[in-house]
Amino acid sequence: MSIKPLVILPDSKLRLISEPIKEVTGEIRRLADDMLETMYDAPGVGLAAIQIGMPVRMVTMDVSKSEEERQPLVLINPEITWVSEEKRVYEEGCLSIPEYYEEVERPDRVRFRFMNLKGETIEQDADGLLATCVQHEIDHLNGVLFIDYLSKLKRDRVMTKFKKAAKREAGA
């Protein structure tokens, strides 16, 4: 297991559409371990494989409270199969858009299907933070970022800020 460097906005990799995983192999299990270690180290509650530069449809999550025992989830080829009409607003952040948080409205409840590390297909319902996290991370697999739900003005400000930071870093 190793901590991987995060892909940071404005890197165009974040806009890639990730490829489905055909089978759970030792390589996929190692990637899941690396993603969990990277996510916990960051620290974050979710991480899509593309955020460490791997364009495959895998997500790791753990929405347990910091004082609780860890409850890691690995979702392979996740897809949302149902969303509630009721909406909820959560303040979201993203490991690929560090230190930027904004309120985003999403469906309050979702049902999603995924394959686990044993290759089993599972369907699960989620609400609250888990529902938000599932939607946020699946968006990553489709090249969508949480800032895409913001007004054009806010989104443009964020992009400008991160483009300037990337230029400064490249020049450093």
* Residue 6 belongs to some domain of the structure: no
Of all residues in the chain, what percent carry a pLDDT higher than 70? 99
The continuous run of DSSP H or E covering 41 comes out as helix 26-41
* Residue 2 belongs to some domain of the structure: no
**Summary count for the chain: helices (H), strands (E):** 3, 7
87's CB contacts (< 8 A; 6+ apart) are 105, 106, 107, 108
Q: What is the mean pLDDT of residues 98-109?
A: 97
* Residue 1 belongs to some domain of the structure: no
Q: Tell me the per-residue pLDDT of 38-79, one tens digit each, with 9 for 90 and over.
A: 999 999 999 999 999 999 999 999 999 878 899 999 999 999
- Rounded to 5°, angle at Cα 35 from 51 and 41: 95
Q: What is the CATH number of the domain that holds 53?
A: 3.90.45.10
Q: Look at residue 149 and tell me whether its pLDDT is greater than 80.
A: yes
Task: State which residues form the domain around 149.
Answer: 12-171
* Residue 108 belongs to some domain of the structure: yes
The residues carrying an active-site annotation are 137
* Residue 4 belongs to some domain of the structure: no
* Residue 129 belongs to some domain of the structure: yes
pLDDT of residue 171: 81
Q: Look at residue 172 and tell me whether its pLDDT is greater than 90.
A: no
What is the count of structural domains for the chain?
1
* Residue 20 belongs to some domain of the structure: yes
